[in-house]
Each structure stands twice: as structure tokens, then as C-alpha cells.
Amino acid sequence: MAQSDVAPASVKQPVRFVDLTNQHTLAKSELQTAILRVLNSQQFILGSEVEQCEHSIASHSGAEYAIGCASGTDALLLSLMALELGPGDEVITSPYSFFATASSIWRTGAQPVFADIEPDTFNLDPKSVESVISPRTRAIVPVHLFGHCADMDTLNTLASAHQIPIIEDAAQAFSAEYHNRRAGSLGTLGAFSFFPTKNLGAMGDAGAITTSDATLAKRLQRLRVHGMEPKYYHSEVGLNSRLDAIQAAVISAKLPFIETWTQSRRDNAEQYHQLFRTHETSPYITLPLEKPGCRHVWNQYVIRVPQDHRDTLKDHLHNEGIGCEIYYPIPLHRQPCFSKLGYREGSLPISEQTAKESLALPIHPDLTIDQQDRVVSEIAAYFDRIQKQSRNVLRGPAYLRRVQESHPVPENETPPSRSQG
């Protein structure tokens, strides 16, 4: 065969970490209609479009009220403000989360107090929460991380015993369920983000707060418009955090598709589980799980990799055109801006170890089986090569249990290494 007749080598197509192309194509008609409706109405801030969106969010989440706001960060901040938290107060939350979980507490003047996480769900460990409750504790903010609800029965029992409200950080958990109840209806308040890459995303920043407390709902409606009610009369200082009508219209247009997209994510997670078992990666990879009674929505699919190989595996996948991300490389209690809180390395060992081992793989609804097979095949190939190159023993999934067992928390242990001032 002449050289010009040789078939070109197959080109590997990139596997995007997030791909909204098909999602927007599927909902194109609904999105165009919704956006045009807002343009024709000339009502761009709040108004009937936002009210309808709020009603749909509340109904879907199982709460009485939803209050739209500018972002998921503002949803947390407004929730804390509605509870009148400030200097001298403590709020318990997770150190293994997006920065806004803790920064919103800090911005009120209250002090974030970090409890450690469960090594299998990445969510707050209720035993660790109980160990750091103090007379100054004014709220608990569990994070339904990556789309899996925290242990809300145990946390609610604990909160009730101490008369502490719970604010759910449900930024990654829209439509997630815990014993047949949805995220956003499991605490006093629920904070959602509709950032474009979320499982229900707007086309820009957007957020909402859910609650079944009429008094809190009324106050939140006032706080998001500078504390104003009626117009130009301010009983308190709030924020400028209104939900744009176009973003509300986009959310409303996408909401009817959420269960289809969620089921696709769940199917993709199960497919990953099967592929990892087929490729016999269990000596090297610890897979995420779904606890009984929970409905994981898989905003992220996060595996655990031996820490000596996490970053090099990430680089390998990127070099092969496969998107992946690290959530989160530095736990919040170790961030420089929170150094005044007094946490040291080793204060929260499960969170710290998880930050060294976690790697998120593509899980969006339009991921194909072939793409998933390529992702898992490349991971298996990486460890096959490492095994051949080295006689070092890689730490497997039992490592999670060993980390937890090697850092037991005595029942009478005092809060770990934080300032008492």
C-alpha cells in the first residue's frame, strides 16, 4: 500500500469534564422561549418570572418557601443573616467543601468551627460535630457534598437537643434525597447554587434559599433587597442579592428535565462502578458510594487514589485528553485566611487525608459508555505501568479504614486545636 493510502491513526476525542452542549440542545426551544419572554416583559429583576421559579423550586424540594438570590454563596450568607448570627457566635461546618461554606460564616463576624468528615461519604461526621459543640454554637451547616445528603437524622437529633438550627449547604445536591425527603427540606434552611455546572444550572450565577418557616422567608425576602420594606424604608441592613429574571427563566425551563438528567448521572455512576470492577482496579482505587436510604445525584463522581499517585494520575488523564479535577486540594481549616482559628496539621485527619487523595471524574448526563470505558481504561493502564516500574506496595481501599482507625476520637475529647477566644 502506498504511503498516501495508509489509514490515519485514530484520533482520540477529548472527554470533557463538563459538557453542556447536548443539555442546551435538548432544552433549546424551552430556553429560547423563556429568555424571549423575559425580554418582552422588560422585567429583569425579581417579578413574576422569579416568583414562578421560586414556587417550582420550593415544590420540588418539599419546602414551603423558596427565596431566589444572586448566588449559592449569597444563599448561605443570607441564611446566616436571617438567623442573626454575628461576632461571638460559632457555626459548625465541614472543612472539606467549597470556600463559600466557611467564608459566608466569616463574613457575618461569627467563627467557623470545623468538624471532621466521614471517609466514605465526605460529609460531616456527627460524632465529630458533637465533640465541638459549645455554649457559643449558634448553627450547624452540613454540606451535602457532591450530591449525597449528610446524616441528617443524627444531625437533627443533635441540633434539637441543643436547640441549634441547621442550614443545609445543598449547593451540589438539588433533587438529592434522604429517606424520601429532598435536600432543602431537611433543616431550618437550605442553600442552593445554580452555577452553570451544577446538576441544575442557570446561565450565570444564581441561588435560592428554601425554608418552611414563614417568618424566616419574609425576612429573607427583605434582606436580599438591602433590608428594604416597603420601598426605600430600611428596617435593617441587607444585601443587594436579587435573582435576575432571565436566570430564573432559565432555571424554570431546565427544571422539567432534572429527573432525566439525574437518572443519567446515576446510571453513569453505576457504569463506572462496573467498569472499575471489570478492570480490577480495587487495589488502587476507592470508589464513592451511596448509603442506604439516600438518593445520590452525583454532581461529582470522586474516587480516592493513593496520595503519591493522585497528582500524577491527574496529569496522565489530562495528557490523554480526559478532564478531571481535584475537589478540594486544601481543607478549609488549613487555608491561610483562617490561620487565626488555630488549627494545625493533623487537627482534622480524615479531611486532610481526603484532600490528598480525591480526584473527580467526568459524570455529566451526556457521558457515553465508550467515554467512561476510556476513562477507566486509562486509569487502569496508569497503575499497570506503575506496578511494572516499581515494586512499591500501593495502598488500597482498606487504607481509608486504617486512617480512621489510626485517629480514634475519644468520647471525651475536647475540640481539636482551635482558638478558644
CA distance 397 to 412: 29
Q: Which residue from 80, 101, 90 is spatially nearest to 135, judged by alpha carbons?
A: 90
pLDDT higher than 80, residue 267: yes
Residue type, 269: A
pLDDT higher than 80, residue 60: yes
Please state the rounded mean pLDDT for residues 232-243: 96
Q: 366: domain CATH number?
A: 3.90.1150.10
Say what percent of the chain tops pLDDT 90.
Answer: 87
Q: Among residues 257, 273, 297, which one ends one of the domains?
A: 257
Domain holding 225, by residue range, is: 21-257
Residues 274 and 298 in one domain: yes
With contact defined as beta carbons under 8 Å apart, do 313 and 356 qualify?
A: no
pLDDT at position 283? 83
CA distance 357 to 96: 12
pLDDT at position 282? 76
Reported as a single tens digit per residue, the pLDDT across 110-139 is 999 999 999 999 999 999 999 999 999 999
Do you find a cis peptide bond into 328, omega within 30 degrees of 0? yes
Start-to-end C-alpha separation, the chain? 80
Lowest-confidence pick of 276-285, 329-338, 407-416: 407-416
9 inside domain: no
Q: 59: domain CATH number?
A: 3.40.640.10
419 inside domain: no
pLDDT higher than 90, residue 61: yes
For 226, counting Cβ atoms within 10 Å of its Cβ (0-12 exposed, 13-18 middle, 19+ buried), the class is middle
Reported as a single tens digit per residue, the pLDDT across 185-209 is 999 999 999 999 999 999 999 999 9
Among 5-9, 289-293, 386-390, name the most confident range.
Answer: 289-293
pLDDT higher than 50, residue 142: yes
With contact defined as beta carbons under 8 Å apart, do 182 and 62 qualify?
A: yes
All cell numbers assigned to 88 = 461571638
CA distance 243 to 77: 15
pLDDT higher than 50, residue 148: yes
Cβ atoms within 10 Å, residue 389: 8
Residues 189 and 263 in one domain: no
417 inside domain: no
Residues 387 and 272 in one domain: yes
61: CB partners within 8 A, 6+ apart? 174, 182, 183, 184, 185, 190, 192, 210
Lowest-confidence pick of 58-62, 214-218, 416-420: 416-420
- Of residues 195 and 411, which shows the higher confidence score? 195
CA-atom Rg of the chain in angstroms: 23
Residues 233 and 222 in one domain: yes
pLDDT higher than 50, residue 281: yes
Residue type, 99: F
Residues 282 and 175 in one domain: no
Q: Which residue from 55, 76, 243 is spatially nearest to 144, judged by alpha carbons?
A: 76
Residues 288 and 146 in one domain: no
CA distance 92 to 416: 13
396 inside domain: yes
Residues 306 and 214 in one domain: no
Q: How many domains does the chain have?
A: 2
Residues 122 and 226 in one domain: yes
CA distance 67 to 221: 6
pLDDT at position 215? 98
pLDDT at position 405? 56
pLDDT higher than 50, residue 416: no
290 inside domain: yes
Residues 241 and 289 in one domain: no
46 inside domain: yes
Reported as a single tens digit per residue, the pLDDT across 301-318 is 999 999 999 999 999 999
pLDDT at position 310? 97
- Of residues 3 and 287, which shows the higher confidence score? 287
Q: Which residue from 56, 36, 38 is spatially nearest to 47, judged by alpha carbons?
A: 38
pLDDT higher than 80, residue 6: no
pLDDT higher than 90, residue 82: yes
146 inside domain: yes
Quick check: helix, strand or coil at residue 325?
strand
pLDDT at position 391? 55
CA distance 208 to 70: 8
- Up-side HSE of residue 363: CA atoms within 13 Å toward CB? 28
Average pLDDT, the chain: 92
pLDDT at position 103? 98
pLDDT higher than 80, residue 401: no
176 inside domain: yes
Q: Among residues 211, 234, 257, which one ends one of the domains?
A: 257
Q: Among residues 227, 257, 287, which one ends one of the domains?
A: 257
The strand pair at 90-93 and 137-141 is best described as parallel
CA distance 221 to 378: 50
pLDDT at position 10? 58
Residues 199 and 297 in one domain: no
Residues 264 and 229 in one domain: no
Residues 136 and 208 in one domain: yes
254: CB partners within 8 A, 6+ apart? 23, 27, 30, 31, 200, 201
